[in-house]
Amino acid sequence: MDTPIGGTTAVARAHSNIALVKYWGKRDEVRNIPAVGSISITLEALSTTTHVSFTPDASEGRDQDEFWLNGQLTLAPRVNRVLDLVRERAGFTGRATVTSTNDFPTGAGLASSASGFAALALAASSAAGLDLRPRELSILARNGSGSAARSIFGGYVEMHTGHLDDGSDAFAEPVLDGAAWPLSVVVAITDHEAKTVSSTHGMAGSRASSPFYPAWVDTGEQDLAEMRSAITDRDFPKLGELAEHSCLKLHALMLTSRPPLIYWNAGTVAAMHTVRALRDSGVAVYFTIDAGPQVKALCAPQDVAVVAEALAATPGVRETRTSALGRGAYLMAS
């Protein structure tokens, strides 16, 4: 890999997140502005570390950016978009070398785009000499991936759709610090392969073809209001029931898209039943699933061991990971 000489450098880390109230559908595809708001929790155990180095200006180095993901040179137009926005704002033409590493499976429904673009937004803006406020970082990260706007923050986070055409009011902000209400997540990994239909592609299809899409958008605000109050009241059963409802409503939307989006496998369904059986036996645990086959079980920290054991024993579950709530994106020594 070429190392730019004289370029400025920064390293940032951001954690993945999972939505309790889901985002699916965009009101602006270029700027990645969501059509519905969302609420997520940031996950301590899943992170991306990203190193960005800029050449001083385009004429003194390459005329292309380079993006290395988990050791492989990768084409990712959204990475270039975020870098272009940073260059525009900083007023220079330098090209970037971006090196990004995930400590968990990439592109498999574990929100690697969320942690990835949040880390990129912070590292790239910092390497370019910009000192952006968290809200501006959230908007920048959103241009890479909608869910990344939330990973700028830790704990419980809400993403707003905003109303403006330029997306300047479509950012995430913290709802509650993770330490104020600790929660745990057990991730049941049922497939380590990357998913076949990207979120961007999938949501465009759902918007264009699912008869449930208007109802999805219409009921979003109500779900957000109820989730906000569940968090404010520290009402875990209410949070869990709503999270399952939002997840199942999202998957109903996916299943009724044309062509249909079926992200689940047999292990996914088995893990959902494990969670329900645990609940019947008195353990407060609820599931949520994104655009992939992994099941994320939400529970109190004291129930992690029993939930992880039950999921690990579920047919089709290959690996479990547990996570506490994580912090927002941060810079590291470069």
Residue ranges that bind ligand PMV, judged by CB under 6 A? 19, 22-24, 38, 111, 113, 145-147, 199-200, 290-291
Is the CB of residue 178 less than 8 Å from the CB of residue 154? yes
**25 vs 94, beta carbon nearer ligand PMV:** 25
Q: Which is nearer to ligand PMV, 22 or 87 (CB)?
A: 22
Q: Of the two residues 111 and 295, which places its CB atom closer to ligand PMV in the complex?
A: 111
Q: What is the full DSSP assignment across 238-259?
A: HHHHHHHHHHHHHHHHHHTSSS
Least Cβ distance, residue 145 to ligand PMV (angstroms)? 4
Per the CB < 8 A criterion, the answer to whether 24 and 203 are in contact is yes
Residue with tokens 């730019």: 4
- Of 127 and 253, CB closest to ligand PMV: 253
Least distance in angstroms from the C-beta of 135 to ligand PMV = 18
Rg of the chain's alpha carbons, rounded to an integer?
A: 19
| Identity of the residue, 248 or 312, whose beta carbon is nearer to ligand PMV in the bound complex | 248
Q: Which two tokens stand for residue 195?
A: 């998913």
Cα–Cα separations (whole angstroms), residue 252 to 19, 211, 262, 333: 16, 10, 10, 44
**Nearer to ligand PMV by C-beta: 8 or 16?**
16
Continuous segment of H or E residues that includes residue 158: strand 156-159
Q: Which lies closer to ligand PMV via its Cβ, residue 173 or residue 303?
A: 173
Give Cβ neighbours of residue 147 (< 8 Å, ≥ 6 apart). Answer: 17, 19, 23, 38, 40, 111, 113, 114, 159, 199
Supply the minimum distance, in Å, between the C-beta of residue 223 and ligand PMV: 12
**CA atoms of 256 and 216, how far apart (whole Å):** 12
- Identify which of residues 127 and 223 has a Cβ nearer to ligand PMV in the complex: 223
The nearest distance, CB 6 to ligand PMV, in angstroms, is 35
Spatial contact of 133 and 153, defined as CB atoms under 8 Å apart: no
Give the whole-angstrom CA distance, residue 157 versus residue 20.
10
Phi first, then psi, for residue 222 (nearest 5°) are -60, -45
Say if residue 313 is exposed, middle or buried (CB neighbours under 10 Å; 0-12, 13-18, 19+). exposed
Residue 112 Cβ vs ligand PMV, minimum distance, rounded to whole Å: 9
